Amino acid sequence: MKATLFRCGTCGKRYTNPATHTCVTRIDRKRPHRRTRVTPQASITCGTCGQPYANPLTHVCTVTTDYRQQQAAAARQQKQAKAAKARKQKAALARQRKRDAAARARQRKRDAAKARPTPAAKPAGTGRPGQRAAGDGHDYRECFYASQPGRGRAAQDCDRFPCRIYREGHDLGYPRGRQRGHAEGYAEGYADGYAQGYPEGMAACPLPHGGG
């Protein structure tokens, strides 16, 4: 509670002690000078709005809030959310259009492939060297031995890849194997024949031999 006795005629403010009162006026506005009067008045500071009042029946609370700032911030957030939603929808539509265009392109390729005439199958034995027609039943072993007159080199010139590989392997492996087998067989046969035939020959000979 606050009580005042005087009302200043220069600045219009109330005060109690004339010795401590200081007038505060504007220099750019001329205020009419009035007489300082004795006007006792008691005032109470409102606990809600903080404003002083003398009559509780005529006091109206004026509370300063940031309602307008909050309302403006909420409007900005709604605007930003709406803009973000519009951007997402636009990007989704662009992606969908791109997917649709790719699907149409794939469908056009499939349609073109179906409409393209199928090439006729080539007969067996034609085409690039080493190329084998699928399902022709050509066996490289039969091809090799059917055209070979004897046990020598194959007298055939089939250009299929398996036939050429088999022929090259035969040409390289047959001489080496024959030479190795002949050497091993000769040595073994000579040793067995000598061990078996020499005693029998010595016994059947009518001529005298040393130790016979």
Q: In the chain, helix, strand, coil percent, each to 5? A: 45, 10, 45
pTM as predicted:
0.30
Condensed to tens digits (0 to 9), the pLDDT of residues 119-169 reads 665 555 454 544 444 445 677 777 777 666 554 444 456 777 778 887 787
List strands edge to edge, sheet with 52-53.
14-15, 2-7, 37-45, 52-53
User: With pLDDT > 90 as the criterion, what percentage of the chain qualifies?
Assistant: 18
- What is the rounded CA–CA span in Å between residue 120 and residue 138? 20
Sequence ranges of the domains in the chain: 1-21+30-64, 65-113, 140-188
In terms of residues, how long is the chain?
212
- What is the rounded CA–CA span in Å between residue 139 and residue 162? 9
- What is the rounded CA–CA span in Å between residue 15 and residue 46? 19
Dihedral-angle region of residue 12 (phi above 0 means left; psi in -120 to 50 means alpha; beta otherwise):
left
Per DSSP, what are the bridge partners of residue 53? 44
Per DSSP, what are the bridge partners of residue 15? 6
Condensed to tens digits (0 to 9), the pLDDT of residues 12-32 reads 787 877 788 878 777 777 777
CB distance 6 to 36 below 8 Å = yes
pLDDT for residue 90: 94
Structure tokens given for 128: 């690039």
The residue whose two tokens read 């020959």 is 201
The listed range with the strongest mean pLDDT (49-53, 83-87, 206-210) is 83-87
CA angle 17, 18, 20 (to 5 degrees): 70
The residue whose two tokens read 């022929």 is 167
